[in-house]
Amino acid sequence: MYTKYYGLTRKPFALTPDPSAVFMSDTHQEGLAILKYGILSKKCFLVLTADVGSGKTTLLQALVSSLEQDVHVCLLNNPILYRDEFFSYIAKKLGLQWNGNKAMFLIEFAEFLKKCFRAGERVLFIVDEAHVLPVDLLEEIRLLSNLEEKGQDVLSIFLVGQPELNERMSDDRLLPLRQRIGIRFHLSRFTLDETRQYILFRLRHAGARHFNIFSEEAIALIHEMSQGTPRLINIICDHALLTGFAENKPVIDAELIQESVDDLHFPGEETPLPVARQNKRNSGRLAIVLGLTAVSLGLVAFLLEILPMTREYSLLGRILPEQWLRYLHF
């Protein structure tokens, strides 16, 4: 509807990831380099976390598309599976047999790893949305790495999910898995400058002939309201362009952004965006904590009145940039 009005050839802020239009911020470039290093360095387990809508799935797509043919990839996007379904999925992706017998699958998987080792190939198993994995399935994933014979190092397992993944991993039953994690990395949100670059990048990719469609004040407000989350930036910008077209405004200003943000809510919601709702929940939790603290202090004061007084690091330091070393966990 608005593309012709703003001189665009297509919608610039579609929510569906576009492999041909991947914007790589500094943190995304670093994240991609860390993922590639996780394969090349033969680290068995790598954990990558990112907030909702920060582009981790897009980053994984960029990784997979950049890999050589000597890497066998099994990417699991929806890990909410029963154990048998989990093994069936892996078998199908890697061209192995699955007849419902876990023991036979493990034997065949071990042979597959040996075959890849002899051929100089690698196996990459990626679990996206890993924060929803139950503990027993995380344990099954750890045990898969036990099938490698000493010295093979052909299997890399990447666990990718929201920050809740770290909480899930803190379970006492997963201590053996935590001890095997070689690299951890958190994908940061965009800075204000990266938000500006991202908006211009998407406009350019959509065929924009001029790039002053969003004013500087509008971009600053977009960054503030989205907190640098790419998905929320897309939602706000798309709605603002539609509103600007409806109101015949060739330039999107801060007032129009605020109007668009106010419109982006469901009936009954007081705040329009997930980030804003999260901040409100955090404020509510803080109020509860402060209230309980005040009650506790009052109780203490009352009681006081009525009661009587009574090794590998040095090698990596020569290979990697210094800022990368903080992501390695030994």
Same domain, 246 and 99: no
Assigned domain for 196 exists: yes
Same domain, 114 and 12: no
Residues with Cβ < 8 Å from 174, sequence gap 6 or more? 135, 138, 139, 142, 168
CATH classification at residue 273: 1.10.8.60
Residue 120 belongs to a domain: yes
Percent of the chain with pLDDT over 70: 79
* pLDDT of 86 above 80: yes
Q: Are residues 159 and 248 in the same domain?
A: no
Task: State whether 260 and 168 are in the same domain.
Answer: no
- CATH number (domain holding residue 74): 3.40.50.300
Q: Is 327 contained in some domain?
A: no
Q: Which of 161, 189, 217 is the last residue of a domain?
A: 189
Question: Do 43 and 166 share a domain, yes or no?
Answer: yes
Taking residues 143-161, report their average pLDDT: 89
> Do both 136 and 216 map to the same domain?
no
Is residue 304 assigned to a domain?
Answer: no
Take residue 217 and report the two structure tokens written for it. Answer: 């004040």
The region, left, alpha or beta by phi > 0 then psi within -120 to 50, assigned to residue 81 is beta
CB atoms closer than 10 angstroms to residue 260: 25
Residue 292 lies in a domain: no
Convert the pLDDT of each residue in 174-221 to its tens digit.
999 999 998 999 999 999 999 999 999 999 999 998 899 999 999 999
Tell me which residue range forms the domain holding 175: 26-189
For the residues 297-326, what does the mean pLDDT come to? 40
51 and 185: one domain?
yes
- Residue 313 maps to a domain: no
| 179 and 67 within one domain | yes
- Give percent of the chain above pLDDT 90: 65
Asked if 105 and 180 sit in the same domain, the reply is yes
Q: pLDDT per residue over 212-253, tens digit each?
A: 999 999 999 999 999 999 999 999 999 999 999 999 999 999
Higher pLDDT, 15 or 237: 237
Same-domain pairing of 37 and 142: yes
Quote the tokens at residue 37: 């290093």
**Are 243 and 170 part of one and the same domain?**
no
Report the number of distinct structural domains present in the chain.
2
- Same domain for 173 and 32? yes
- For residue 270, being part of any structural domain is answered with yes
* Helix extents (H) in 46-146: 56-66, 83-94, 102-119, 135-145
For the cut 60, the answer to whether the pLDDT of residue 283 exceeds it is no
* Nearest alpha carbon to residue 160 among 45, 246, 80, 263: 45
